[in-house]
Amino acid sequence: MSEALFCIENLRVAYPQHDAAATNWAIDDVSFTLQSGERMGLVGESGCGKSTLGRAAMRLLPSSSRIEGRVTFQGQSVFDLMPNQLRKFRGEAVALIFQDPMTRLDPLMTIGKHCIETLQAHSPELSTREAKEKAIATLAKVNIPESRWSQYPHEFSGGMRQRVAIALALLLNPKLIVADEPTTSLDVTVSAQILQELTRLCSEENMALLLISHDLAMVGEYCDRIGVMYNGKMVEMGATESVFRQPQHEYTRSLLKAALHIQAVDQGSGEGESEEISSLSPILRVTELKQHYTIEPNFVERLFKGQGQTIKAVDGINLELYRGEIFGLVGESGCGKSTLSRTILQLVRPTSGKVEFLGQDLTTITRQAIRSSRREMQMIFQDPHACLNPAMTVGQSIADPLFIHNLADTAKAKEKVLWMLEKVGLTPPEVYYQRYPSDLSGGQQQRVAIARALITRPKLLICDEPVSMLDASVQSQVLDLMLALKTEFELTYLFITHDLWLARFLCDRIAVMNSGKIVEIGPTKQIFANPQHPYTKTLLAAAPLLARA
């Protein structure tokens, strides 16, 4: 048998610790090999060591980390590479795609400059024109048009930034791609396109793929082999189909059960409740809402092309939300979902149109009145870590909205916060009250974000991809929590997601958004059973479904 492309032997990793006597292994005696052209999935809950494994493989861990065991690439020890060899190794031999694209992108550089700089650093023989041609062709593979070449990362949606990060990884034709949650922020169509592209390259270029993910259905569709990690150990490894059909470890069985729970057919409230809800007056009415942006051209572009390009992020949206409803908004990244939510909240003022909340048109009232209305309308964001101040304790973060809206004094605020921590399952609340966000897992951080959103007792919660960064078991827990809290707090949800199975699990009605417009709207069961618009059919066809054993 030929020599393995990539080999991990008895790897143990411990991060720097205050107590030198106690060693907590983030990775504990993990071994596996990867052959050229092979696609392996690595799954497990957040904090189990998946990402640490990927970073250890590329020597990206803190220098004071304790590492035992061996990592070899084409027979050469990765831990023995000299600095110049290591630079060549990263990118040309192995490329890493991170979960958060902004860790890879410089906000001061255009997308084109990122590509040119990467190519010229590793292939100095290329002229600028040749480098640009190669970069444009690679960007096209991930659906980034040439017209976006001169734009900056902040002008892209989260999903489009991730496509750029993936293109940068593909530029140098590496022999192994370590993809750490590469499609978490992407919709199903782009996710499918990118993974199909990655798997096609694996076959054509004999390139290996290590896909780190919490999405079991995606791993099942694109990987030959699967490794399941739990608490730093590899608890199960085998051919994907056999692991899914006959899981040997209890943890693997619990992961599959949680994923199937979300994809269960008979979830969602369906037509009956939707019809009952729609007989009431709407809590939110959006009428002909438009949000247009102009990309200002540079001097040369102004000479040849004239005025700037207008992007119609939200282009004539009409929708109504009713009390007690869970309304799903689905569509691909860059279609305008998040812009719509921010315009509804008046975080950005619309180009035209109306947003009526509890009978009041938010587009015509003062800033002070808008701020007051936000007590009744709160938002849960995709990345809880980004919306929690790292310098504030959990207790301070959750209490903050109470002080902003003058709803409680210090003693009353603490009492309310402790009660809310109990409600979102962070017990004992006194312990979590004192902790900082960095002390919590992703799922716990999202519970804090939910508690913070609910502390003012709002009537409407806008949830922008609130569980997309969580693994299946934690995702299931947070969704069940949101359903329980909806009843207790009499909430209405606007649930924005690119995960169709999540929308089916949770939502009474669904609106499908494409290029700034709603192309289809209706009861959840109807949309899934009989989609009318070609784009809806494309979305449903692209969504990976976890096969039952």
479: DSSP letter: H
User: Which tokens go with 495?
Assistant: 């649930």
Residue 133 has pLDDT above 90, yes or no: yes
Which residues fall within 8 angstroms of residue 50, CB to CB, at 6 or more apart?
42, 43, 44, 180, 212, 229
Of 216, 197, 214, the closest CA to residue 205 belongs to: 197
The pairing of strands 94-97 and 176-180 is: parallel
> What average pLDDT is seen over the chain?
85
For 155-181, the pLDDT digits (tens) are: 887 778 888 988 898 898 899 999 888
The pairing of strands 309-322 and 282-295 is: antiparallel
Q: State the SS3 of 51-64.
A: HHHHHHHCCCCCCC
Q: Helix H segments across 3-49?
A: none
Give the pLDDT of residue 449.
Answer: 92
Rounded to an integer, what distance in angstroms lies between the CA atom of residue 186 and that of residue 198?
15
User: Which tokens go with 90?
Assistant: 């990263």
Q: What's at 471, amino acid-wise?
A: D
Q: Which residue has better confidence, 204 or 273?
A: 204
Indicate the class that CATH gives domain 263-376+459-549: alpha beta
6-255 and 263-376+459-549 agree in CATH topology: yes
What average pLDDT score do residues 453-469 get?
88
Residue with tokens 């902040």, as numbered in its chain: 154
Residue 115 has pLDDT above 80, yes or no: yes
Q: State the SS3 of 480-516.
A: HHHHHHHHHHCCEEEEEECCHHHHHHHCCEEEEEECC
1: DSSP letter: -
Does residue 240 contact residue 227 with C-beta atoms inside 8 Å? no
Residue 112 has pLDDT above 80, yes or no: yes
Q: How confident is the model at residue 470 (pLDDT cuts 50, 70, 90)?
A: confident
Rounded to an integer, what distance in angstroms lies between the CA atom of residue 110 and that of residue 335?
22
For 61-70, the pLDDT digits (tens) are: 888 888 999 9
The percentage of residues in the chain with a pLDDT greater than 90, rounded to a whole number, is 39
What average pLDDT score do residues 330-354 get?
85
Alpha-carbon distance values, 121 to 126, 127, 406 (Å) = 10, 12, 55
Q: Which residue has better confidence, 335 or 451?
A: 451
Helix 128-141 with 158-170: angle, nearest 10 deg: 130
The dihedral built from the CA positions of residue 71, 74, 77 and 82, taken in this order, carries a sign that is negative
Query: Could you tell me the residue ranges of all domains in the chain?
Result: 6-255, 263-376+459-549, 387-455
Rounded to an integer, what distance in angstroms lies between the CA atom of residue 188 and that of residue 508?
21
Q: State the SS3 of 412-424.
A: HHHHHHHHHHHHC
Rounded to an integer, what distance in angstroms lies between the CA atom of residue 474 and that of residue 319?
31
Give the pLDDT of residue 493.
Answer: 95
For 299-324, the pLDDT digits (tens) are: 555 565 566 677 788 888 899 999 99
For 198-221, the pLDDT digits (tens) are: 888 788 888 899 999 877 888 888
Does residue 29 contact residue 11 with C-beta atoms inside 8 Å? yes
Rounded to an integer, what distance in angstroms lies between the CA atom of residue 323 and that of residue 320?
10
Q: What CATH number labels 6-255?
A: 3.40.50.300
What average pLDDT score do residues 3-20 get?
83
Alpha-carbon distance values, 376 to 30, 360, 407, 457, 517 (Å) = 49, 12, 13, 7, 27
Q: How confident is the model at residue 455 (pLDDT cuts 50, 70, 90)?
A: very high
Of 248, 94, 99, the closest CA to residue 170 belongs to: 94
Residue 293 has pLDDT above 90, yes or no: no
Q: Residue 514: beta bridge partners?
A: 517
Does residue 229 contact residue 195 with C-beta atoms inside 8 Å? no
Rounded to an integer, what distance in angstroms lies between the CA atom of residue 499 and that of residue 220?
16
